[in-house]
Amino acid sequence: MSSVSAQGVVERASAELSRRITGLGLRGRKRSPGVVERVANALCGPASAPPAPRVPRRRRPSPRPLVWSQFVLEERFLEKRSLAQVCTRWRDVLYSSPRWWAGMVAVLDCRELRSASGCCMQRFYNSLVRRGIRGVVLISASDDDINEFIRQFPLSAHHVHAISLKGCTITDRGLEAILDHLQVLFELELTGCNEITEAGLWACLTPRIVSLTLTDCINIADEAFLGILILGPPLLFLVERTGATDGYLRPTCKAAVGVVLMYPVTAQPACICIHSLPNLTVLSLSGCSKVTDEGVELLAENLPRLRSLDLSWCPRVTDNALEYIACDLNHLEELTLDRCVHITDIGVGYISTMQSLVALFLRWCSQLRDFGVQHLCGMRSLQLLSLAGCPLLTSGGLSSLIQLRQLRELELTNCPGASPELFDYLHEHLPRCLIIE
């Protein structure tokens, strides 16, 4: 009986093994084991097929540039301008794309260039053309350096659009030479060029110059500015710090320009532009020590669209000038009168009638008193007020500023009358105002 039972079990186990071998190709669907299968597992061990070898999946390669020019133009690549110095291949690719060099200027210290070989400089100048760099700054250049620049860089005649001469010892002859050579120049800057005279400046009065910057040129005086306005083209920017006087206040030029920023202007002859620029919106005469009330009157009469005026550090400006401003500049939004020591409460009373004024700066106006502050309290459009350094203001006068509910910024630094109790009072009643202590 036992032999028959053992034989039956073996037969069933063989049948189960055959069935499993036949079904090796059927994968994926799992089922629970039956009774016979569990018995076969108990007698013969678990019937598990050897695991199939795992086929490695091939990763799809990330897209890469196929050529050098595509590779170096990748935004995630390293600094392009530094890579131009690595090798000639990278240099050639980067030089062929002027967009990497947009807005850059070439700064050349002529004291160092005098020891460089001519061949080396020619290669450098040619690279400027390849990269599309159209601005050049020459530092400490002499007439000989100008001639050498013209000789080594002949392509600059039709390539350079802007040139800046800083701390140069060039004379009128050198300035005329460079301006005659640069046929497409429209922007000229002269800084600290003390050998250039008015005759040399007149040499730049060509129609193609639309931007002129003069800084610290001590030999440029009134006649030169008069010549600029009579003979010169409409300038986009006129920024000067010169040794001129206040001789010319009434201009004769009719060339009008849309908007001219004259900041920081430190020479009185800038007022020559007033009548010829009726569309001027921003004017700074900061530090023009010879500006008088008559000059401000002329300014107010001829610049009706002015929105920002800076008369700081103009010691000759008095209350009369503020009366002209209040009567004629109806669109003025910002007025700066810092260090105007002759302004009194009367002048501030004139200013308080300007309904368009948003920002008023009265720093270190030594004659301003509490009565003038009372006038300011009626300016409902005022959002920014500075009374820093006004020595005659008291806590009682300053406390009246809480009437300016629309105020966004108030500066009271270096005010002897501003006490901690006053600041607490102002913070309480002007919660939305930034109070600078």
Q: pLDDT in tens for each of the 437 residues of the chain?
A: 455 566 666 677 666 666 655 555 444 445 555 555 665 565 555 555 555 555 555 555 555 545 655 655 555 554 555 666 667 776 777 777 777 777 888 999 999 988 888 888 988 898 888 888 899 999 999 999 999 999 999 999 999 999 999 999 999 999 999 999 999 998 888 888 888 887 777 766 676 776 777 777 777 654 555 555 554 445 544 444 444 433 333 333 333 333 333 333 334 445 455 554 566 677 777 776 777 888 888 888 888 888 888 888 888 899 999 999 999 999 999 999 999 999 999 999 999 999 999 999 999 999 999 999 999 999 999 999 999 999 999 999 999 999 999 999 999 999 999 999 999 999 999 999 999 98
Say what the pLDDT of residue 244 is.
Answer: 41
Distance CA 386, CA 14 (A): 104
Say what the pLDDT of residue 384 is.
Answer: 96
Q: Model pTM?
A: 0.50
Which residue bears the tokens 């368009």? 356
Say what the pLDDT of residue 164 is.
Answer: 92
Say what the pLDDT of residue 313 is.
Answer: 85
Q: What angle do CA 53, 58, 60 make, to 5 degrees?
A: 165
Q: Which helix (H) or strand (E) holds 138?
A: strand 135-139
Say what the pLDDT of residue 84 is.
Answer: 64
Residue from 179, 150, 140 nearest 163 by CA: 179
Distance CA 271, CA 219 (A): 18
Say what the pLDDT of residue 245 is.
Answer: 39
Q: Could you write out the DSSP letters of every residue in 271-283? A: GGGTTT-TT--EE
Say what the pLDDT of residue 235 is.
Answer: 53
Local structure of 251: helix, strand or coil:
coil
Question: Residue 65's Cα: distance from chain center in Å?
Answer: 35
